[in-house]
Chain A
C-alpha cells in the first residue's frame, strides 16, 4: 500500500507512466488485502469457539466469508473494544506491523495500560446504559446520579474487577448517591430508582441484566412462552424487600433529590416487627421443653401477590433454580431462612451469592458480550433466554460460560477470546456461500460473515472527537456536558414504570439530519486555524492525494479508489486548486456515508 501512496505523491514520473504503475500498485494492494488477518490463535478457548462455529457452518451448508482486511479488522476491534475508530497513526501502525501475532498484540495493547482510559470509559458508558438506560438520571427529578454510577463502573473496569465481584457490589449496594456523604456509594445508583412499588423493577432488571431472563410480565401472570411463573417472580422479589430508599432534598440544588439505599429489618407485608415487643408470649411444651410457640414464625417475613383470579398467595425468598433460604438455613430452625431480620439473613447478600453461582449468570454475560461484538447473541434478544428461546449454539454458549467461570470472571479474557475468534475476523461481504446467513431477515445467525451494524451514538461521538478533536475549542470542563447533551438529543422515554426508552439514533431521518447539519459534524468539519482539516490542508509534507488518503483512513480505514481520487482531483481543479474547502467537502461526505456509520 505504501507503494501506491508513493506513486500518487510522486511528481517525478511522466504522466503516461502512472496508469500502468497504478494498476501494478492495485494488484499489490489486493494481494495485501487477501493476506489480511493472522493465522489462527493457539488459545484453547478461541479454538473452542472456532470449532463450534465451524461445525455449525458445515451443518448449515455455509461457506464462511474470506478474512477481513487488516484495516477492516483494526477498525472494528477499536470500535468494539475502546469505543471509537482508530486514528490514522494507529491504523497505519497496525497495517504496517509484520508480526504473525499482530492481532493478539493489538488486542493485548487495547486491553492493557496504554488504552485503559479509552477502554474503561467506553465500557463504563456501555454498562451505565445497560444498568439505568440512556435516560436514567437525566431528568432533574431523578434519584440516579448518573456520573457517580459511571465513575464507579469506570474505576471497577480500570482495576479489572472481576465480573462476579462487580455484580455483587451492584446488587447488594448500600449507601448514599451523594458524593459528599460519608456513606457515598456510586453503585447504589443501579437500584435506587427500581425499589419503588415493591421493588418490581429491581427484580425484573436484575433477572434480565444478570441472568438474561425476561420476567417482567410474570409479575401479573405466568409467562405466555417462558416457563417462568408468577410465583417465581415474587419469590425473587422477596430478596429485595428488606431494602429501603430514603430521599432527601439536595441542599445545594433546587428540585434535586439525594437518596440513600439501606437494608432494614422487614416484618413482612402488612405486619409489624414483633420480636421483642410482644405483650404476651405463649409458651408451649415441645419435646418436654417449654418453648416460645411463635418464635420461628414471628421472624418470618412473607410477601403477598395476587393471581389473575384475585386469589392471594404468599412468597418467601426462593431463587430461580428453586433454592430457598428456608431450606438453606433449615438447620437453624424451620423458618429461620425466611426471617426478615438482618441479623438473621441479609436477603440481598444471599441473592448476590445465588446469582453468581447460577449457570444462567455466566451464560447471560457470555451472550451479552457476544451480542456486543457480533450484533447478535446466541438468542434473540440476548437478554431473554430460557427454554422458550433456545440458543443457536448451545454447547458453545455453555462451554464459554464455564471457561469464563474458570477464568475467574475476567471480562477482558472473555473479550479477548471473542475478538480473536475466526468469526470475528471474517469479512462482512455477502457471498453465494453465506447469503442464507442473513439474520436481518429472520435467519438464525451463524456468524459466517461479519454482520454490518450501525455505530452507537457514543461510538460516533468518540470517533469524531478522537479523529478531529471536535471539542477542542470548548473549555475542558464543559466537554463532558457537551457530550451528554449531544447524546441526550436522541433519547425518548415512554414514561412507563419499566423506564422503557427509545432512540432516534437508529438510522432514521433525525439521525441523518444530525449528521448532515448538526453542530458536532459542523465542528468536526471546521477549517478554523489549528483545526483537524486546517492542519492537514497545511501539512507541506503531504501531497493533495495524501491529504485525501489521510481523510479516508481517518474515517473509513481505507484509501480512496482510483475513481474516487479522480473525482476529487476534478473537483479540486474546478475550484481553482482551493484545497481546504475541497477537503472539507470530502470530509463532510465521508462522515455522512453508510461506510462510515456502519461497523463492517
Chain B
C-alpha cells in the first residue's frame, strides 16, 4: 500500500526517481532514471549530428545540381556561378551564395528507380530483402551514438513532415519520431494530475511486465521500450526544441514561413539540443508532368530554407559537427517526356553533402554531355552512407548481427568518398 502514497507537488526529478524505483519498464540504460543534467546543452555541442533533407519523389538533379544547358536534355533553366566550384540552377540564387559550405556529388549511380525500393535503398544502403528489414540512417545513428546520448530525453531520430524509413531489425526503440513541421506534438498533455498518473503508470507497469514475462515475442518487449521513450518525452523540458514559434521573427523569416522552412529551423533547434539525426521532408518531386513550371514554384521554397539552414549552422559553429545531406530516392530522366516532365532515373544523378568535416565547395564526379551516364567512378547509396557515418565518427568496420544471424556491415560495406574529406 505504501507504494501508492504519492507525495504532493512532485517535480520531474521526483517523478522520475519515484517511478523508477518500482518500475520494470526500466532497463539499465533507462532514460527516465537519469538525473536531469544541467550540462546537457554543453555536451550537445561536441556531439555529432546529421540533417537529412529528403526530397521525396525524386528531384530532377539535372535541373538543380548538374545542369546540361544547350543540350536536348538541358531543360528550361540556366546555371549560375556559386561561391563553390561548380554551377547550380538559377532558381537557387540564395544557396549559390552558400555553396562554399556544401559539395555536390555528381556521380551517383544506383539501380532502384521505383519509389518504394528507391526510398528504402537510399535510406538504408541495402536493397529490399524479404527476409530482413534493414535499419535506416537515423536508426543506425541513434543506435550507434546511443551511449553518448545520456542527456537526451527526446527521441534521437526525428522525422519532420514525413515518414522516413523504419528501424528495421534494430526495433521500434530506434524508430523515427514523426512530427509536423509546425512542431505541434499531439497528445503530450496528460489528462489527469501527476499523482493519478503515477498510480496509472504503476498499474500499467504491472500489466506490461506480466505480459513480457509470458514470453510471447518481441512486440511485447518493444511496446514496453516505446512506453519508456514516451514517458521520457512527456516530462521533458527538451520538448521546447520542437517549438519553432519560439524563434525570433527574423530567424523564421530567413528560413521562410513555409513547411520546409519551419522544418529546417526545427532541425537546427533539435541539433542544438543534441538530437543526432533529423530528417526534414519536402515532397512533391515526382515531376512526370510540367517539370519546369513546377520547379519554378518549388525551388524558391527549397532555396530559401536550405541556404538559411546552412548559413545558420555555420554561424552558430554547429556545421563542423553537423553533416548535411540532401537527396531523394533517385534523379529524373535527362530525356524530357511528352508532358514536359521527367521520369524516374537512377543511373546518373547528383546529391549534395556538407558539414561534419566534409570540405565544402567541391564538385565530385561528373556525367557525360547530356547527363545520361556517369563518366567518373560511380557512387552508390552504400558509399554515401559510409561517407556520412565516417563524418559522424561512426566506425564502419562495425558489423551488426542481423537477427537472421548474418553479420551485416554498417552501410552495406560501402566505401567512404574520400575526395569529400580531401
Contact = CB atoms under 8 A, between A and B. Distances in A.
A509 B208 CA distance: 16
B368 to A, nearest CB: 14
B216 A429 contact: yes
A300 interface: no
A380 B131 contact: yes
Among B176, B187, B210, B403, residue most surrounded by chain A Cβ atoms (within 10 Å): B187
A452 B5 contact: no
Interface of A: 197, 216-217, 220-221, 224, 308, 310, 379-381, 384, 389, 428-430, 438, 440-444, 451-454, 489, 492-498, 500, 502, 504, 506-510, 512-514, 516-518, 522, 561, 563-564, 567-568, 570-571, 573-574, 581, 585-586, 588-590, 592-595, 597-598, 600
Given A508-B175, A509-B229, A585 B186 contact: no
14 contacts: A197-B289, A428-B216, A428-B217, A441-B404, A453-B219, A494-B115, A502-B163, A506-B166, A571-B203, A585-B203, A588-B200, A589-B206, A592-B227, A595-B208
Given A508-B177, A513-B187, A594-B212, 20 more contacts: A220-B343, A308-B347, A389-B130, A440-B218, A453-B219, A506-B166, A508-B178, A509-B175, A509-B177, A513-B186, A516-B187, A516-B234, A563-B206, A567-B203, A571-B4, A589-B200, A592-B204, A595-B208, A595-B220, A598-B219
Contacts of A586: 203
Contacts of B207: 564, 589-590, 593-595
Contacts of A518: 186-187
Interface residues of B, number: 76
Nearest to B177: A509
Interface in B333-362: 335, 343-344, 347
Contacts of B283: 493-496
Given A495-B56, A514-B186, A594 B131 contact: no
Contacts of A570: 1, 3-4
Contact of B178 (A440, A504, A507, A563): A504
Given A497-B288, A574-B5, A221 B113 contact: yes
Contacts of A494: 56-57, 115, 119, 162-163, 283
Interface stretch (B36-44, B85-93, B188-196, B243-251): B188-196
Contact of A510 (B111, B177, B203): B177
Interface in B1-58: 1, 3-5, 56-58
B395 interface: no
Contacts of B222: 507
A470 to B, nearest CB: 14
B216 A441 contact: no
B145 interface: no
B206 A379 contact: no
B230 interface: yes
Given A508-B226, A590-B207, A513 B188 contact: yes
Contact of A216 (B114, B176, B199): B114
A594 B217 CA distance: 11
Given A224-B111, A585-B196, A500 B116 contact: yes
B142 to A, nearest CB: 13
Contacts of A430: 215-217
B302 to A, nearest CB: 15
B297 interface: no
A288 B281 CA distance: 70
B226 A452 contact: no
Nearest to B341: A197
A440 B200 contact: no
Contacts of B206: 563-564, 567, 589
Given A567-B206, A592-B204, A496 B56 contact: yes
